[in-house]
Amino acid sequence: MQPTAQEFSHIPGWGIDADPENDPTYPIRDRTGEFTKKYDWPRPPQQPIDIETLHSIERPNQPAVIGNSVPPYGLSGMIRRFAFKYSESHYGHWLPLLLADRVSVVEGIVEDLAHGHVPNIFAEKGYKAHWKHDPKGLALRLATTAAIAGGIVLLLTSGKRKSRS
Amino acid sequence: MLAMNYRGPKRVRVSEKPLPEIKHPEDAIVRVTRSCICGSDLHLYNGNVPDTRVGMTFGHEFTGVVVEVGADVTKVKVGDHVLVPFNVACGRCVFCKQGMFGNCHESNPEATAVGGIFGYSHTAGGHEGGQAEYARVPYANVGPTVIPEGMDPDDAVLLTDVVPTGYQAAEMGGIQTGDTVVVFGAGPVGIMAARCAWLFGAGRVIIIDKEDYRLEFAKNYAHCEAYNFEKDMDDPVVFIKKITDWLGADVCIDAVGAEAAGNAMQTITGRKLLLQAGSATALHWAINSVKKGGVVSIVGVYGPTDNLIPIGNVVNKGITIRGNQASVKRLLPRLIEHVQNGVINPKGLITHRIPLQDVADGYRLFAEKLDNCIKPLLIMPSAGR
């Protein structure tokens, strides 16, 4: 149902300049009042929730369909569960999720090794293609990374040496 | 089955994964025939989208042959060759009903701001993607669309995202006959947006990027003016003002999103340190380059946190900002017509065909803009027709 001027009679001038054509937000704006404004549409059947699925606290329930890609696990999963205590409007939600993503990279390597698989980082990073099409650029990048890493190690070890002396 | 497997920022490989199963009566399983790497996959690849879990399979642009359907699927049948819109959409919620298939409320538990998207992190619902031999397609009565007889599957696969997103970028610009339209970003979506701007009656279309090969491609493909912001100008905003009689463009389109170059502060805080939801350089330029009262249309993808943009100028200039994930299902009938009539040539964007087994090389090529890469297409080991 569309709101009527009567409902808003306590607000002087409500709706007198309303222009339904001037609506940039919806591709197909409901101008008939046919669609509900509430969360009461005929919902599709609920997918059985047979894996742990975190859901935003900005909704009261699970949607009818959920993805089943990678359920939360390990330390990263604990961090993700913590993140989902906060709304999508909160850094407490997104920053822990980014942290969990990085933690899961380490978990992934540990898992690989535990399964007797040594990840081929060179291949996973696509360095073969990079070397084929831009060997100079790749060499420069690797050399820069090595130099920065070497510099940091040197800095840290010289600090230790100083504190010992 | 073989599937792309994300292992961490800039690290992917192909692994064996279990075959997908029907989990809901409206699911279908498809054997993937074509799958693209999208520019927005690079945000995931670079580790910029929160809740991108190690082990996930990316891929939201794919076609496939239906091999199994759930009990309630009536619109497609086993054997149909379908294109699968990147939105996972129920078709019944109040948003789908109003044509906002990219904003479905029944497909993403993890976030309310965006609907479900195939292979696009758990922030977009945790749905496995199509860079695999097989994929589960929820709501098969809504999304998957049978590829019309005679349509090249290479055209069809680009109708799942690139073409509708480029088209909707132009549509959201509210382009009026004779308008000057500036598109930031000459990636596949930007090029398509420039091409589609003409369909809405633009009088002048300009594209801005920093890669000469992409600008050259855009100039030929989209019949637009093309400028390099590193070589042709000192300041893109002043440049655009100057070439638009010092008033600015009627419509500016941000087709770059979080990976934008061109501003050191944005790059460091947005891309390197992740202190904002990506580098908002293109959006910043769009807001400052558009005419007072103009429209900024955003299809570039940003993360869910905050970005530094000149919001004061939005108010002072009376700008309308519009943005959304493309509503593929809504646009498909018109776009299929355009492809069939030869108005749009999607497959002309494809520059690389890469076996799924070499997916890591494909991502690297695309991310580093090597070998004049515009659009990489992954070929499945079992690809048919």
Interface confidence, given as ipTM, is: 0.84
* Residues B256 and B303: beta-carbon distance below 8 Å: no
A-B CB pairs within 8 A amount to 195
Q: B365 by DSSP, 3-state: which?
A: helix
For residue B179, the tally of other CB atoms under 10 A from its CB is 21
pLDDT band at B385 (very low <50, low <70, confident <90, very high): very low
Question: Do the chains contact at A98 and B100, CB–CB below 8 Å?
Answer: no
Chain A residues touching B90 at Cβ < 8 A: 44, 63-65
pLDDT tens digits, B193-252: 999 999 988 999 999 999 999 999 999 999 999 999 999 999 999 999 999 999 999 999
User: What distance in Å separates the CA atoms of residue B218 and residue A82, rounded to the nearest whole number?
Assistant: 46
* Partner-chain residue, chosen from A27, A66, A126, that has the shortest CB–CB distance to B109: A66
In order, the DSSP letters of B115-149 are: -EEBTSTGGGT-B--SSBSEEEESSTTTS-EEPPT
Predicted confidence at residue A163, as pLDDT, reads 63
How remote is the C-alpha of B325 from its chain's centroid? 8
Share of chain B above pLDDT 70, in %: 99
Question: Does the pLDDT at position B272 exceed 70?
Answer: yes
Q: Which residues of A touch B109 (CB under 8 A)?
A: 53-56, 59, 62-63, 66-67
Class of domain B2-161+327-379: alpha beta
CB contact under 8 A, A35 and B370: no
The shortest C-alpha distance from B50 to chain A (Å) reads 5
3-class SS of residue B94: helix
Q: Which of A35, A66, A121 sits opposite B98 (nearest CB)?
A: A35
The whole-angstrom separation of Cα B140 and Cα B137 is 6
Q: Whole-angstrom Cα distance, residue B28 to residue B67?
A: 8
B363 vs A contacts (CB less than 8 Å): 126
* Shortest Cα–Cα distance, B150 to chain A (Å): 30
| Closest residue, chain A, to B141 (C-alpha) | A44
- Contact between chains at B92 and A43 (C-beta distance less than 8 A): yes
Interatomic CA distance for residues A101 and A72, integer angstroms: 11
Confidence of residue A161 (pLDDT cuts 50, 70, 90): low
* Option in B11, B25, B113 nearest A45 (CB): B25
Q: A164 pLDDT exceeds 70? A: no
Give the gap in angstroms from C-alpha B223 to the nearest C-alpha of chain A. Answer: 27
Cβ-contact B91, B99 below 8 angstroms: no
Q: Where in chain B is the domain with CATH 3.40.50.720?
A: 166-323
User: Which chain A residue has its CA at the smallest distance from B137's CA?
Assistant: A67
Helices (H), chain B: 41-45, 94-97, 153-158, 162-172, 188-199, 212-222, 236-243, 264-266, 281-289, 311-317, 328-340, 359-367
Q: How confident is the model at residue B271 (pLDDT cuts 50, 70, 90)?
A: confident
What is the pTM (predicted TM-score) of this model?
0.91
Gap between the Cα atoms of B276 and B204, Å rounded = 33
Alpha carbon separation from B105 to A39, B67, B336, B384 (Å, rounded): 10, 27, 26, 35
Helices (H), chain A: 74-83, 91-114, 121-124, 127-133, 135-164
Task: For residue A60, give every residue at least 6 positions away whose Cβ sits within 8 Å of its Cβ, in sequence order, or none.
Answer: A39
Residue A118 burial by CB count (10 A; 0-12/13-18/19+): exposed, middle or buried?
exposed
Tell me the per-residue pLDDT of A19-63, one tens digit each, with 9 for 90 and over.
Answer: 666 555 565 666 667 777 778 889 999 999 999 999 999 999 999
Beta bridge partner(s), residue A149: none
Q: What percent of chain A has pLDDT over 70?
A: 84
Quick: pLDDT tens for B281-300.
999 999 999 999 999 999 99
- Phi–psi pair at B99, nearest 5 degrees: 85, 5
Measure the CA–CA gap between A97 and A83, rounded to whole angstroms: 6
| Alpha-carbon distance A98 to nearest alpha carbon in chain B (angstroms) | 5
Nearest residue, CB atoms, A56 vs list B52, B100, B110: B110
Q: Start-end ranges of CATH 3.90.180.10 in chain B?
A: 2-161+327-379
Provide the phi-psi class of B90: left if phi over 0, else alpha when psi is between -120 and 50, else beta.
alpha
Give the closest residue to B154 by CA, choosing from B358, B375, B330.
B375
Confidence band for B315, pLDDT divided at 50, 70 and 90: very high
- Chain centroid to Cα B115, Å, comes to 14
Please check whether residue A148 is in contact with residue A141, taking contact to mean a CB–CB distance below 8 angstroms. no
pLDDT, tens digit (0-9, with 9 covering 90-100), for B110-169: 999 999 999 999 999 999 999 999 999 999 999 999 999 999 999 999 999 999 999 999
CA gap B118, B32 in Å, rounded: 13
Question: Measured between CA atoms, how close is B341 to chain A, in angstroms?
Answer: 24
Minimal Cβ distance to B90: which of A44, A69, A98: A44
Give the burial string for B215-243 (b: 16+ CB within 10 Å, else e).
Answer: bebbbebbebbbbebeeebeebbebbbeb
Question: Among residues B33, B21, B23, B35, which one has the least CA distance to residue B65?
Answer: B33
Indicate the CATH number of B166-323 among 3.30.420.40, 3.40.50.720, 2.40.50.140, 1.10.490.10.
Answer: 3.40.50.720
The candidate with the shortest Cα–Cα distance to B284, out of B306, B313, B264, B305, is B313
Nearest one of B245, B252, B117, B81 to B183, comparing CA atoms: B252
DSSP 8-class letter at A87:
-
